[in-house]
Amino acid sequence: MIDDLKDHARAGAMHARAVWRFFPAAADGNRITLRCPGTGRVAASWDFPRQNREGGLSLADYVLPGDHVALFVTTAGEGVRERVEEWKHKGEYLKSHAFAALALETAEAAAEYLHACLRKYWGFPDPEDLPLEDKLAARYRGKRYSFGYPACPDLAFQRELFKALRPEEIGVHLTEGDMMEPEASVSALVFQHPDARYFGV
């Protein structure tokens, strides 16, 4: 599903967009396989690393029987590079850096907003009185994990996510080094497992 998370008609305003989907998921050892709803064909598959210690964790541990995993990409990068380069050319370096940073923060805020929506769709919305510090510390059920970070450090795993989700439809592409372009973009796998936590491998 593609969402315009924030649509400003005013020229030059930052525009956040997202594409997301729930996939039936199964785990076998360290492998997670996602299937397309309806057709049942394999949409994506990964062999995730496991912590090298007794009882070490792998993301595959967070897939329950009959479970679903969500994938998403958010972006606020449309037109940002062009605007930044224009300001740099004019010598307005502070403005260019501030705008680039704002785009990154907007993409991250969109990811947080979408993650909260996914938790609600799963049936466990955040309590209305959840303190802000708990939200910032991710003290809620469900976690999102991005490639290139400690639990799944291999950026090449992005390719499977892109194959399943096709975020090119919202203007996000992979570089040869498996980085997202535009830079102000966030991708993630989202698990609903009640014991999910952040860890490194």
What was the pLDDT predicted at 92? 85
The residue with tokens 């360290």 is 30
| Digit-coded pLDDT (tens) for 55-76 | 999 999 999 999 999 999 999 9
Domains annotated on the chain, with CATH: 2-191 (3.10.196.10)
Q: Are 1 and 21 spatial neighbours (Cβ–Cβ below 8 Å)? A: yes
- Total H helices, total E strands in the chain: 4, 9
- Is residue 13 pLDDT above 80, yes or no? no
pLDDT band at 121 (very low <50, low <70, confident <90, very high): very high
- Is residue 95 pLDDT above 80, yes or no? yes
Q: What is the mean pLDDT of residues 81-96?
A: 83
Q: How confident is the prediction for the chain on average, in pLDDT?
A: 91
The amino acid at 162:
F
Q: Are 33 and 187 spatial neighbours (Cβ–Cβ below 8 Å)? A: no
CA distances (Å), origin 134, targets 57, 139, 174: 24, 5, 33
CA 140/CA 57 separation, integer angstroms: 19
CA 171/CA 166 separation, integer angstroms: 10
The amino acid at 4:
D
Look up the pTM and report it. Answer: 0.89
Q: Are 136 and 191 spatial neighbours (Cβ–Cβ below 8 Å)? A: no
Q: What is the mean pLDDT of residues 102-112?
A: 92
